[in-house]
Amino acid sequence: MDKKFTIMQGDEACAMGAIVAGCRFFAGYPITPATDIAEVMSSELPKVGGTFIQMEDELGSAAAIIGASLAGVKSLTATSGPGFSLMQEAFGYASMTETPTVFVDVQRGSPSTGLPTRPAQGDIMQARWGTHGDHAVIALYPSTVEETYRYIVTAFNFAELYRTPVVFLMDETLGHMRESFYLPHTDEFDTVERIQTEDLKSETVYQPFLEDSELYDDIQPLVSMGRSRFHVSGLFHDESGFPIGESDLASKLMKHFTNKIKLHLDDILIYDTYMMDDAEYVIVAYGITARSAYRAMKLARSNGIKVGMFKPITIWPFPTIPLKKILSKVSGIVVAELNMGQFAHEMSRINRNMVPMQTVLREDGQLIQPFDIVDALTKLEGESEE
Amino acid sequence: MQNNVYTSKSTTIPFSIRITGLGGQGNVLMGTILSDALVKDGKWVIQTQAYGAQVRGGLTLCDVLFSNDPIDFPKAQTFDMIFAMHDLGLKKHAKYLKNNGILFVDTSTCGVVPRFIQSVTKKIISIPVTNISEELFKSKVFANVINLGIVAATTNIVNHVRLKEAVLEHVPEKYAEKDLKALEEGYNLSNKVYSLRERLKVPYSHRTGTAFE
């Protein structure tokens, strides 16, 4: 079957992919560079029977999608760094109440209002630790318009399966860029749907926060409100959802939050490796920087440097074990990212001085040039010869 | 599995076009139509633009990169073709023209072409596009579509029929007829035909770190 060769903007692909994933509710507040997602959603959602609301601000947007999700509709919000900061409180609430939601963060440069029309990858750590307290999170990070279209569907599936808010990180360049790609057929995608009350087994009363469910490993699927009645609270709660203050139960819940990600890592982790078969060096890059890295890899290869590439899609949880396996085989690693070294720090934690490491960092709102990465590789090569 | 960026092993440098002018002249629309037409031709395309409040005036630009292979790095530093739709754009961006590239100058809005261009390229096409648009349609806004016709005629990078289809997809219905006329007009304006450069591979001098594009 021939696929349609088409051209789409990154933001548009994100919105269209979300509709394929079954998203039928969008609440948001316009912010460059994520405005286009809201714009496309406002025209496309009504066509499929969905609802679009422009909220009064980002606090309201985040709260609205949690409410909509609990009511049984797959929901999405899209924002940029400043708005994502405002959403953190509600993000924690979604995490605590285990509500499936997807937060798109199209990153811009610098803290605060910063550089609205320039790319940066500075929200990496915010995506993981933005809200207070230990919490579960999954963050996906595409690097092309096609991947945006594909992985926003995955983001919705993860949100439903693991009952957690999912962060979908994008870059300003990716959001505003129009790129050609082969449009995947909608029937290529498997989407996870909410379980209806009549599908529930053995339990007479639906316990929304049960930790040992028979249905999907240990995660109790969310049943839409209206089909069941339960209490939702940001306080520590028992399986019925009512607040409790006992420390042993609190500890049980906290462990449940981390375990529901940790025990399903095999299903969650998505990453790509390129030309790793005979590679002596590895470039780790994600998002739009992965494209600089991919070109750098080809340039270096054509100049006789044997280099491969590791591109994580699930940036959180990070594919630590696969990268460690790669590190045990290579003799150098280059980390490239558009910030002052947020992820390089994480990399050095994984690397633990196993192999020499070079970083290519940039924070002036321009993309990393492929030659900068090649230069870092030649430096590594020089080091290993000494 | 169909082709995508990460299945391609090619190091070909994509052809690059920069369209620059004042906000409101239709620079970005021109880039959008051109990239859509190129996609219809089966080319891999990346289009980026200056993103800001330039719709109300001020220098703006739109870059279109296209290639027969998927394009990995989405930006270009030097360009095979530059459209100057305003003097400010000509003065600022002419220096990014590749050797032997093609420079289009709208002489009705641009001043003198900088002297150094003479040593960069001989392929300069100077046509008073905005004036022609005013004469024909009593409006400046068709200049960008006339430009598209000029591209199709002088470079053959894009099929004329595909370009027509793309124009019709993007312009309001009530102006469709005029736009098609503008496209035809542009198509017949210049009788120069320039061939684009050969496929370029990225040269990279190992060890010294110097690179040229």
pLDDT at A142: 96
A368 to chain B: closest CA residue: B73
For chain A, list residues whose CB is within 8 angstroms of any CB belonging to chain B.
3, 5-7, 32-33, 117, 143-144, 146, 173, 176-182, 272, 274, 288, 291-292, 294-295, 298-299, 302-304, 367, 370-371, 374-375, 378
Give yes or no for a cis peptide into A221 (omega within 30° of 0).
Answer: no
Q: What are the residues whose beta carbons fall under 8 Å from the beta carbon of B53, sequence distance 6 or more?
A: B23
- The answer to whether A34 and A80 have CB atoms below 8 angstroms apart is yes
Q: What are the residues whose beta carbons fall under 8 Å from the beta carbon of A116, sequence distance 6 or more?
A: A31, A32, A33, A80, A108, A109, A172
In a domain, B8, yes or no: no
- Helical spans, DSSP H, in chain A: 10-20, 35-44, 58-70, 81-96, 124-129, 145-162, 172-176, 247-262, 265-268, 289-302, 320-327, 342-351, 370-385
Signed CA dihedral, A176, A53, A18, A122: sign only: positive
Best of A7, A106, A380, A385 to disrupt the B interface by mutation (most B CBs within 10 Å)? Answer: A7
Say yes or no for a CB contact (<8 Å) between A117 and B207: no
Radius of gyration of chain B (CA): 17
Between B17 and B53, name the one with better pLDDT.
Answer: B17
Partner residue opposite B204 with nearest CB, options A7, A178, A374: A374
B109-151: pLDDT as tens digits? 998 999 998 888 889 999 999 999 999 999 888 999 999 999 8
CA-to-CA distance for A23 and A87, rounded, in angstroms? 19
A253-309: pLDDT as tens digits? 888 888 889 889 999 999 999 999 999 999 999 999 999 999 999 989 888 889 999
pLDDT at A214: 58
In the block, which residue shows the tokens 């025990």? A263
In a domain, B192, yes or no: no
Give yes or no for a cis peptide into A111 (omega within 30° of 0).
Answer: no
> Over 90: is that where the pLDDT of B3 sits?
no
CATH number at residue B51: 3.40.920.10
pLDDT at B201: 59
Say yes or no for a CB contact (<8 Å) between B74 and A7: no
Query: CATH 3.40.50.970: which residues of chain A?
Result: 4-188
CA-to-CA distance for A113 and A2, rounded, in angstroms? 44
Q: How many CB atoms lie within 10 A of CB A157?
A: 21
CB pairs under 8 A between A and B: 93
Q: At residue B135, what is the residue type?
A: E
> Fold for domain A4-188?
Rossmann fold (3.40.50)
3-class SS string, A208-263: CCCCCCCCECCECCCCCECCECCCCCCCCECCCCCECCCHHHHHHHHHHHHHHHHC
CA-to-CA distance for A360 and A32, rounded, in angstroms? 27
Token digits of residue A286: 């994600």
- CATH class entry, domain A270-385: alpha beta
A147 to chain B: closest CA residue: B4
In a domain, B195, yes or no: no
CA-to-CA distance for B20 and B83, rounded, in angstroms? 6
In a domain, B93, yes or no: yes
Partner residue opposite B5 with nearest CB, options A32, A144, A178: A144
- The answer to whether A79 and A59 have CB atoms below 8 angstroms apart is no
pLDDT at B203: 54
Query: CATH 3.40.50.920: which residues of chain A?
Result: 270-385
CA-to-CA distance for A81 and A286, rounded, in angstroms? 18
Say yes or no for a CB contact (<8 Å) between B209 and A371: yes
The H or E element that residue A146 is part of is helix A145-162
Sort out which chain A residues have CB atoms less than 8 A from B203's CB and list them: none
- ipTM metric: 0.89
A338-386: pLDDT as tens digits? 999 999 999 999 999 899 999 999 988 899 999 999 999 999 988 877 6
* DSSP 8-state secondary structure symbol assigned to residue B96: G
Across A8-22, B100-114, B160-174, the highest mean pLDDT is recorded for A8-22
Give the pTM. Answer: 0.92
B64-73: pLDDT as tens digits? 999 999 999 9
Token digits of residue A162: 């693991």
The CA-atom distances, in angstroms, between B183 and each of A169, B84, B111, B180 are 41, 18, 25, 5
In a domain, B72, yes or no: yes
pLDDT at A197: 58
Per the structure, how many domains does chain B have? 1
Phi-psi region of B207 (alpha: psi -120 to 50; beta: other; left: phi over 0): left
Which of A103, A64, A101, A98 is CA-nearest to residue A84?
A103
Q: Within chain A, which residues score under 70 in pLDDT? A: 1, 196-204, 212-218, 225-227, 386
CA-to-CA distance for B102 and B83, rounded, in angstroms? 9
How long is chain A? 386
Report residue B213's pLDDT band, with 50, 70 and 90 as the boundaries.
very low
Token digits of residue B148: 């598209």
pLDDT at A226: 65
